[in-house]
Structure 1
Amino acid sequence: MSSRNKPRTTRRPYDPHNRNRDPMRTFCHATTPVYSRRDLLTASANGFGLLALAGLANAQPTASPLAPRPPHRPAKAKRVIFLFMHGGPSQVDTFDPKPLLARHNGQPYPGQKPRVQFAATGNLLRSPWEFRPGGRSGTPVSDLFPHVRRMADELCVIRSIHADNSAHGGALLQLHTGSDTFVRPSVGSWVTYGLGSENQNLPGFVTICPTLGHGGVQNWSSAFLPAAFQGTAIGHSGIPARESSIRDIRSTAPSVELQRMQLDLLREMNHGHLAAAGADPALEGRIESFELAFRMQAAAPGVADLSKESRRVLDQYGVNQPETDNFGRQCLLARRYCEAGVRFVQVTHSYKWDQHGDLTRDHAKNAREVDQPIAALLTDLKQRGLLEDTLVWWGGEFGRTPTAQGGDGRDHNPHAFSMWLAGGGVKGGSVVGATDDFGYYAVENKVHMHDLHATLLAALGMDHEKLTYRHAGRDFRLTDVKGRVVREVFA
């Protein structure tokens, strides 16, 4: 070693009282090499890469991607329950009474029908059901929903919803993701991306008995958002709710300790691969999914166990009753998951509301299956103090025409349909917007699907223009480049 590169030495004087000791030194009386900055960099540069690699390989995530995050502004609601009526309920037979439709029954529609129609329809068809005022507000609700009518003071009925697609597939995608043509994250994924979840042992987004058709998994997909925000399906529409569960929720490992050891080894291997490969959202999501699945095995079975509910509550939801059991179980599970801290829960009545014929028979049957459970859910949430910060959202992918199809039926109608919101700061006992005299088109305070999504996010304290995710060189959001908050729905 040349004299220029040779490290210099110095001797520290011995101090019996240790007053001069440098706390960073191991010994107080030693000959210690002293390096210049250049010497130190020369001697240690080769080790920096190894230190970085070791750090990455052993790095633990600082926080779960589902950790709770504050909203943009004070929120009216903390969570959402979406009651999805797959197929498209008829607005003029449920929440939008049209006296002129009865008066002109059987006559030609006096206005201009849409230029593009899903199928040809005939003359006007009156509703087979009467509308009666509900609650103190007097909000009119059809005889299809006598139980829900008693909860009218909790509902804000939006009669002027409209969308862009008259086919089920595109309409479901727009309802769930904001786009009827491209693969986009679902509204539940956006909500959990923005707010996280209140329970780290359960998914942030759960969908109970979802439909496998008309877009299928894309309706609860996280798309380009991180995989942790994907919806977790509990069964599907082809399985009765009493038989539905989260797949592989029961471990086959001989013991929890052995399973933990296996997962630790798998995590170490995956983190090593991640360190070598660089940023990989799919792999990061897979690592997190293994950890969440492990935690769920202890938490989820208890939430799904309806035997813990009293006989009074089960009867209230219509559980074990022939017509209401399936949807009643879903609604009760939704309450239990929300109570346990899940951020977004969807329940699906699938696929039954598409009455191109036999409207009187089948709409009545469908309503009997969901009416009591929905009213029970609203009542139960209110009694438990959950309704005030839980936003309940009811609706389908579009409405129906006021004109007849196939005799006793109605065709698809995306130009005007009704949805309602309850709880979560909503102005109960109110009606927003209006359709024309026959219910064909939204004409007053029109609410597009983008507006509805912006309003849902606003209830949760999120600005739909600020809730963005950068992907493929641009910032994406649930409402794309549109959407307005419908302030009239809030108290």
Structure 2
Amino acid sequence: MLSDPATLSRRSWLSATSMGLSSVALSHLMADSRSHFPAKARRVIWLFMHGGPSHVDLFDPKPELIRHAGKPLPDSYGAVETRRKVAQNPLLAPVKPFRKHGRSGIEISDFLPHMAELADEMCVIRSCHGDSVNHPQSVYQMNTGSIQMGKPSMGSWVSYGLGSENQDMPAFVVMPDPGGGLKGGPPAWGSGFLPATYQGTTMRAGGSPILHLQSPQSSARQRATLDLIQQMNAQHLVRHAAGSELDARIRSYELAFRMQSAAPEAVDISHESEATQKLYGMDDPTTREFGTRCLLARRMIERGVRFVQLYSGDTNGWDAHENVLKNHTEYCARTDKPVAGLIRDLKQRGLLEDTLVIWGGEFGRMPMSEKGVGRDHNPWGYTTVLMGAGVKHGHIHGATDEFGLRAAQDKVHIHDLHATILHTLGLDHERLTFRLNGLDQRLTGVEGNVVKGILA
């Protein structure tokens, strides 16, 4: 079990406040030596396609789905749990063609022409599966390992396990879709039962990415004010030792003070070259918003942020119940070029060598049609794509059945995916624990195996 910063001596907290607290608190944010073994990845960028992108229309071609389109799923498949009772509906063929790309020959849909050019960078896991057909529970499970709300997110676990690489920036940054309405909401990046200091720090793409960075006071006056507040907080902490909320508040004041110096430069993209901005699609209204967030993600990890998560998709997002072609045309157009631009930019800067990039949603879509042209939720078999550090490139792992309904070969449960991501970061998922109610809790619960077949 890793030591909990919340167990730091209360006297140490109190004495440290006279020096601005940073000498004590910051030592727990800088923790490169806390990995269990040498890591291939130092940081993560998670591109979360909220709503459930259709694997059978993007990364998992199914010739049998084309041949049997318009027919019902064979009875041999048995009962199928669905959200909207589509099990008896006709099968729907992929709505756009697939083509082979790169030396690896990975088949990718015409929905994603820019990402397809990077097929040889991809590790395509076609056999992912989870446990719920509903959005909130599946969002929670993909982020926290549990379908129940209130557990720590992966970003929080990684922050807890490894700390930050930069004392002036948060370890875990989240950029929600500006449309809002995430099904699952902030608990998806919350710290759960971990100390509250490990929750994700949210940033925006429009306006000022981080609100209230500029203080109306001078730096010296603000420092003096903060020292007085911290002394009072620390005195209160000595008298009330329970809970992590005050610990987190004390640290957040210090981090906020330091971010006022470091963050304005970090979020200022005006000095990025025109070529870089075009690479991310910032010259096009369709791709500008997501491209801006992808560029900010690169700037965050460049400055020591350990875990960055971007959400594409508001209330409904990639949830293609009504019309797969219409929905995925819109969302692929928004994200395809920015994602490809991010990968190219990371690679040319030497950052992809030690950054793991994750692309995927909370589940996939059913092979059966809904309303003739849409698809229902499918947690039983879908695709997640990994790129960058620690994983094989130009590689396909696992498979769904002939129609793309269920994971069938080399299955990867969400617990396995989490165990593998932690492994690339040098963390053993069975040893990354937090003591709660007499039990050692972990991201993967009592399950999970590292998927060694995808490791570089």
Name which of 225, 242, 264 aligns with 2:194: 225
* Structure 1 residues 354-393: aligned runs within 5 Å: 354-393=319-358
* Structure 1 residues 236-275: aligned runs within 5 Å: 241-243=205-207, 245-253=209-217, 255-275=218-238
Distance 2:230 2:415 in 1: 40
Are 1:203 and 2:170 matched, yes or no?
A: yes
* Corresponding residue of 2:6: none
Name which of 405, 410, 423 aligns with 1:440: 405
Name which of 24, 31, 38 aligns with 1:74: 38
Distance 1:372 1:381 in 2: 14
* Corresponding residue of 2:203: 234
Name which of 102, 113, 118 aligns with 1:146: 113
Distance 1:53 1:314 in 2: 48
Name which of 155, 162, 173 aligns with 2:122: 155
What per-residue deviation string (whole Å, max 9, x for no partner) do you get for residues 166-189 of structure 1?
100100000111111241000000
The answer for unaligned runs of 5 or more in structure 2 is 1-8
* Corresponding residue of 1:31: none
Are 1:181 and 2:158 matched, yes or no?
A: no
Distance 1:212 1:232 in 2: 18
Name which of 24, 28, 38 aligns with 1:62: 24
Distance 2:148 2:323 in 1: 31
* Corresponding residue of 2:47: 83
How far off its partner does 1:55 sit?
Answer: 6.8
* Structure 1 residues 403-422: aligned runs within 5 Å: 403-422=368-387
Change (3 A) 1:405 1:274: same
Quick one: which amino acid aligns to residue 133 of structure 2? Answer: S
Change (3 A) 1:245 1:114: farther
Are the aligned partners of 1:79 and 1:342 in contact in 2 as well (CA < 8 Å)?
yes
* Corresponding residue of 2:3: none
Distance 1:393 1:106 in 2: 34
Distance 1:63 1:289 in 2: 10
Quick one: which amino acid aligns to residue 84 of structure 1? Answer: F
* Corresponding residue of 1:277: 240
Distance 2:256 2:436 in 1: 27
Q: Give the RMSD, CA atoms, in angstroms.
A: 1.6
Are 1:453 and 2:453 matched, yes or no?
A: no
Are the aligned partners of 2:98 and 2:109 in contact in 1 as well (CA < 8 Å)?
yes
Distance 1:148 1:299 in 2: 32
What per-residue deviation string (whole Å, max 9, x for no partner) do you get for residues 130-180 of structure 1?
111111111111101111011000000000000001100100000111111
What is the SS of the residue equivalent to 2:91?
Answer: coil
Larger-Rg structure = 1
Are 1:474 and 2:436 matched, yes or no?
A: no
Relative to the length of structure 1, the TM-score reads: 0.86
Distance 1:250 1:451 in 2: 43
Are the aligned partners of 1:209 and 1:244 in contact in 2 as well (CA < 8 Å)?
no
Change (3 A) 1:138 1:268: same
Worse-superposed segment, 106-115 or 471-480 = 106-115
Distance 2:68 2:244 in 1: 58
* Corresponding residue of 1:172: 139
Name which of 99, 105, 111 aligns with 2:63: 99
Distance 1:225 1:69 in 2: 19
Relative to the length of structure 2, the TM-score reads: 0.92
Are 1:429 and 2:394 matched, yes or no?
A: yes
Distance 1:400 1:391 in 2: 25
Distance 2:351 2:336 in 1: 20
Name which of 109, 112, 122 aligns with 2:73: 109
What per-residue deviation string (whole Å, max 9, x for no partner) do you get for residues 290-331 of structure 1?
000000111111111110100000011001311100110111
Are 1:462 and 2:427 matched, yes or no?
A: yes
What is the SS of the residue equivalent to 1:431?
Answer: strand
How far off its partner does 1:350 sit?
Answer: 1.4
Quick one: which amino acid aligns to residue 186 of structure 2? Answer: V
How far off its partner does 1:62 sit?
Answer: 2.9
Are 1:286 and 2:249 matched, yes or no?
A: yes
Worse-superposed segment, 453-462 or 225-234 = 225-234
Higher relative contact order (CA 8 A, sep 6+): 2
How far off its partner does 1:400 sit?
Answer: 0.3
What is the SS of the residue equivalent to 1:58?
Answer: helix
Are the aligned partners of 1:199 and 1:342 in contact in 2 as well (CA < 8 Å)?
yes
The percentage of counterpart residues that share the same residue type is 50
